[in-house]
Amino acid sequence: MDNPNKTLPISERLVLLVKNPGKIFVFWHWNKAKTENFLNKNFKKEITLKFYYAQERSFACQKILNWDKFKEYMDIPQKGKDYYATIHAETLSGEDIQLMESNTITVPGIESKEVKDTYASGFFKKESL
Q: What architecture does CATH give domain 13-108?
A: Sandwich (2.60)
Share of the chain above pLDDT 90, in %: 66
Cα gap 99→19, rounded to integer Å: 24
pLDDT digits (tens, 9 = 90+) for 17-51: 998 878 999 999 999 999 999 999 999 999 999 99
pLDDT digits (tens, 9 = 90+) for 49-77: 999 999 999 999 999 999 999 999 999 88
Instruction: Note whether 129 and 115 are within 8 A (CB).
Output: no
Q: Decide which of 25 and 128 is more confident.
A: 25
* 84: CB partners within 8 A, 6+ apart: 16, 51, 52, 54, 101, 102, 103, 104, 105
For the chain, the structural domain boundaries read: 13-108
